[in-house]
Amino acid sequence: MSRLSEGLKIDSVYRSVVEAPVVADVDVLVAGGGTAGCVAALAAARNGAEVLLVERYGYLGGMMTEGHAGLTMFMGYPGDRTVDQFAEALKKLRENPSEVQVVGGIPLEIANRLIELGAGIGTGGQAGTYVTTNTEAFKALLFSMMEEAGVMLLLHSWIADVIVEENALRGVVVENKSGRQALLAKVVVDATGDGDVAAKAGAPYNMGVGPSDISAKEGIPVGTMQGMGKMYIYGNVDVERLFDYLRKHPDEYAPAWTTFQRLENAYESFLKGDMFVVSMPKHKLWFHSLPIPRALGTAGCGTRGNGLSAPDLTKAEVECRKRLMEQLAYLKERIPGFEDAYLMSTPPMFARETRHILGEYVLTVEDLFESREFGDGIGRGGHPIDSSPVPESLKKRMWTSLSPNWSHSIPYRSLVPLKVNNLLVAGKCISATHEAYGCIRPTAQCMVIGQAAGTAAALSVKNKVKPRHLDIEELRKVLKEQGVIL
């Protein structure tokens, strides 16, 4: 036994010094090539910055590609959940998208390119409530867009440490097959989803329910987080046979909010190759269409756990695999159309909620309910507030009291962490309460935040100012010129 290992036991600490050669020094480093990070990198590069995008996997897109989440939501919420109100909103989307869409800029560009390629399907050929995608084609598109914009990539690299000098982030340290490497940058955008960079740099945060959140005040324990889960795909599904079964058993079908269609309208969408959702509450099942023949997507494996705990994630993966096999057996035995189906693709377990990095402004549920407009607004969201658990007092308001084409503003200050300079956060970990985060965590909203963060980072470098001191009017002007709906 080496003397270095003598005395080591459970709960003791092993310390080592690992050298990390500096291999890059760029204007903007984006940590995380997922939903927010991809758009942040594109935005920063298009605004003149030298950009390096670091991603732990060998592909880009995160939840919107390998996570199979698709892209939601590009339009304002239609209001009370009635078929007629949704039909009216979707009619406007088909005839005049700008009347109801609240997300533009790079997110809408990506959605439109996917639809034009046949790698995405929307509502009436438009980016509306949802755009579902062909995962592999989407990954290829993102690589192409990075090349077009001149974004440098470093894949298969995990953020291991940060470089901080006098409360200013100077760069990050990554771990990969080359060993440890130091990457320097003038501004870092934390798009890791969990706020890993911000936390390592010393930015304060809440985990799940914060001590001042409404949920905490009404008895939900501080630290409670929304459950983890997966979105996955079934292949070789006879969709025609499924619809035939539902026509014979109409009591087993219910409109789902993402399209809120009657059964006959969902079938019409299927025939046209448009977006549709099949919800079967009796079986606790729902499926959405994909631009892949005989394939349907769904979600499941909901489980409580800490998405920052490797043991919790490991347990969730093992338990989820058992449940997936049980669900597949149930489908093959009980649901016509699934007799020869198989699990086509299942992603890693993803945590919906972990850290909320505390920023210069904390977005609240009242901000959303009241559609408060912020002077530093950098984009909009239109997804209903999907958080759990929440007090009963909020549930009804969350789903039934929103006005037609409801949307809300997202303030830039929620992207600026307290205590750490040269850093912006992007995605679901921005400064928001547990209740409000449920509205900004969906993919299209994370993309909106990514474009703002990337643009702000590039402008901060250009103007030689810290991101927290950036001229908001200049940022808003540039975002608007580049198609962002403020």
Query: 257 in helix, strand or coil?
Result: coil
pLDDT at residue 5 in the model:
66
Tell me: do 235 and 308 sit in the same domain. yes
Answer yes or no: do 209 and 251 share one domain: no
| Domain boundary residue, one of 309, 325, 350 | 350
235 and 273 housed in the same domain: yes
Residue 207 lies in a domain: yes
Q: 311: exposed, middle or buried (C-beta count within 10 Å: 0-12, 13-18, 19+)?
A: exposed
Confidence label for 78 from pLDDT (cuts 50, 70 and 90): confident
CB 307 within 8 A of CB 224: no
Residue 459 and residue 358 share a domain = yes
Is the model more confident about 139 or about 255?
139
Tokens encoding 451 = 């474009």
- pLDDT for 1 equals 39
CA–CA distance, 183 with 28 (Å, rounded to integer) = 10
Residue 23 neighbours by CB under 8 Å, 6+ apart: 181, 182, 183
Residue 18 has pLDDT above 60, yes or no: yes
- The answer to whether residue 311 scores a pLDDT higher than 50 is yes
Q: Is residue 106 part of a domain?
A: yes
Residues 82 and 212 in one domain: yes
| Pair (309, 439) in one structural domain | no
What are the two backbone dihedrals, phi and then psi, of residue 312, each rounded to the nearest 5 degrees?
Answer: -65, -40
Phi/psi at 111 (5° precision): -60, -45
pLDDT at 47 over 90: yes
pLDDT at 19 over 60: yes
Q: Would 238 be classed as within a structural domain?
A: yes
How many independent structural domains does the chain possess?
2
Does the pLDDT value for residue 32 go beyond 90?
yes
What's the whole-number mean pLDDT along residues 120-129? 90
Give the pair of three-digit tokens for residue 98.
């700008």
Same domain, 322 and 469: no
Residue whose C-alpha is closest to residue 48's, from 193, 197, 181, 186: 186
- Helix H, strand E, coil C: the string for 94-124 is HHCHHHCECCCHHHHHHHHHHHHHCCEECEC
DSSP E strands, 155-313: 158-165, 168-176, 179-190, 205-207, 228-235, 277-280, 285-289, 296-303
SS3 43: helix
Check whether 476 has a pLDDT greater than 90. Answer: yes
Give the C-alpha separation, 424 to 416, whole Å.
5
Domain that holds residue 322: 228-350
Confidence of residue 481 (pLDDT cuts 50, 70, 90): very high
Round to whole Å and give the CA distance between 395 and 311: 32
Tell me: pLDDT of 2 over 60.
no
User: Within 10 A of 106 (CB to CB), how many other CB atoms are there?
Assistant: 25
Whether 97 has a pLDDT exceeding 60, the answer reads yes
DSSP 8-state symbol, 224: -
Taking only the tens place, the pLDDT of each residue in 266-310 is 999 999 999 999 999 999 999 999 999 999 999 998 899 999 999
Nearest CA-CA partner of 26 in 186, 160, 229, 208: 186
Q: Is residue 35 part of a domain?
A: no
CA-based angle 331:332:335, to the nearest 5? 55
In a domain, 142, yes or no: yes
pLDDT of residue 457 exceeding 80: yes
In a domain, 402, yes or no: yes
Tokens of 425: 């956060």
pLDDT at 399 over 80: no
Q: How confident is the model at residue 145 (pLDDT cuts 50, 70, 90)?
A: very high
Which residues on adjacent β-strands are paired with residue 101?
Answer: 75
Whether residues 302 and 449 share a domain: the answer is no
Q: What's the mean pLDDT in 400-408?
A: 82
In whole numbers, what is the pLDDT of the chain averaged over residues?
Answer: 94
Examine residue 81 and state whether it is found in any structural domain, yes or no. yes
Domain co-membership, 290 together with 239 = yes
Same domain, 365 and 399: yes
Torsion sign, CA atoms 355, 347, 226, 368? positive
pLDDT band at 80 (very low <50, low <70, confident <90, very high): low
DSSP 380: E
The CA distance from 476 to 374, in Å, is 11
Instruction: Work out the average pLDDT over 310-334.
Output: 96
Question: In this structure, are 301 and 383 located in the same domain?
Answer: no
Whether residues 213 and 300 fall in one domain: no
Taking each helix axis as running N to C, give the angle between helix 105-117 and helix 35-46, from 0 to 180 degrees, rounded to the nearest 10.
110
In a domain, 381, yes or no: yes
Q: Which of the pair, 235 or 384, is modelled with greater confidence?
A: 235
Tens digits of residue pLDDT in 420-439: 999 999 999 999 999 999 99
For the chain, the C-alpha Rg in angstroms (whole number) is 22
Q: Structure tokens of 332?
A: 């093959």
Confidence band for 15, pLDDT divided at 50, 70 and 90 = confident
Q: Which of the four pLDDT bands, split at 50, 70 and 90, describes residue 3?
A: low
Element (H, E) at 26: strand 22-31
Provide the 10 A C-beta neighbour count for residue 224: 18
